[in-house]
Amino acid sequence: MITLAQIRERLIEEIRQSDMTQGEIADKVGVKRQQISAYACGKKMPAPDTLANLCKVLDVDANYILCQDCDFDKKQDEKDK
């Protein structure tokens, strides 16, 4: 079973590996930079709609973020190949 801690870890990893600043991510997602910072530090979890937008901006399949041990491709565009 997936835990919030595991979701948080994957989300933090993707934010940190992004080539965008937290401000750029925030602008694209439509939230304040402080919110992205709180997600990256593991202090807060995004609302479901924000998580969906964040996955699109980070080009990560939401199933990767939400699954503990799944076979989904990490990157959305890898599925299209």
How do the domains of the chain map onto residue ranges?
Answer: 4-79
Whether the model pTM is above 0.75 = yes
Give dist(CA 55, CA 81) in Å, integer.
19
Number of residues that make up the chain: 81
User: CATH second-level architecture of 4-79?
Assistant: Orthogonal Bundle (1.10)
Amino acid identity at 2: I
Amino acid identity at 24: E
Per-residue pLDDT reduced to its tens digit, 35-72: 999 998 888 989 999 999 999 999 999 888 887 455 55
pLDDT of residue 70: 59
Give dist(CA 66, CA 61) in Å, integer.
9
pLDDT of residue 24: 97
Under DSSP, is residue 60 helix (H, G, I), strand (E, B) or coil?
strand
Q: What is the mean pLDDT of the chain?
A: 85
